[in-house]
Amino acid sequence: MEQPNQPPPANPPKPYAYFVKASISNPVLVRGAAVPFEPVGSNWGVLALDTSIEGNKPVLDALNEFIKRGVGGVGRISAAEYAQKKSQPILKPFGPRNAPLRSRPLGPSPRKAPAQAVIAAAAVPAVEPPAEPPIDLSALKSVGEAQATPESFRPPTRRISRRPVGTAPAIVAAPPA
């Protein structure tokens, strides 16, 4: 029972939910926005969400669903694990960088010279070939008119077998009934 003379605690502890994420270079999306995990370790991230704030509810539900399905590399941790991971030194995360760094400016490419020569050659107007004489269409037969077959033409009349020459086809007896 509470004693009437004692005042209530000044700041009750806020309820937090603690999460860890592997491979923060591949973010998880909730409603189209990446969840902001704080980088710890090499490519790990942690997140502490206040569960009393109504705006955190969709993120909490989505992260709990990711944990339940086992996707996204998301897991739940305790407050002690969160504090231990936050105390580790922050290392540069792995993953692709936004802009590649160059040690020196690049000069003109040696490959561009042949390409520019090909483009210049293509820009030269092509010489048109001389016009061919018109074809005489009077020698052609009309559709449906029989055409004469030369005497030397003889279509193949026998079937070409795939069996070697001199072998007889195998005779298979019907199974007894």
In a domain, 71, yes or no: yes
With respect to residue 27, please indicate whether it lies within any of the assigned structural domains.
Answer: yes
pLDDT in tens, 73-124: 899 999 999 988 888 776 555 555 555 555 555 666 666 666 677 777 777 7
Q: What is the reported pLDDT for 145?
A: 63
Please state, in angstroms and rounded to a whole number, the distance separating the CA atoms of residues 163 and 161: 5
Tell me whether residue 83 is in a domain.
Answer: yes
Per residue, what are the HEC states of 74-101? EEEECHHHHHHHHHCCECCCCCCCCCCC
Whether 121 is covered by a domain: the verdict is no
Segment holding 137, helix H or strand E: none
Assess if residue 25 is contained within a domain.
yes
Based on DSSP, count helices (H) and strands (E) in the chain, helices before strands. Answer: 3, 6
Determine, yes or no, domain membership for 68: yes
Per-residue pLDDT of the chain (177 residues; tens, 9 = 90+): 455 566 555 555 668 899 999 888 888 888 888 888 888 877 888 999 988 888 888 889 999 999 999 888 899 999 999 988 888 776 555 555 555 555 555 666 666 666 677 777 777 776 777 777 777 766 666 666 666 666 776 666 666 667 666 666 666 666 666
Could you tell me the residue range of the domain that residue 38 belongs to? Answer: 19-87
Please tell me the total count of domains within the chain: 1
For the question of whether the overall pTM of this predicted structure is more than 0.75, the answer is no
Residue 114 forms part of a structural domain: no
Per the DSSP assignment, residues forming a β-bridge with 23 are: none
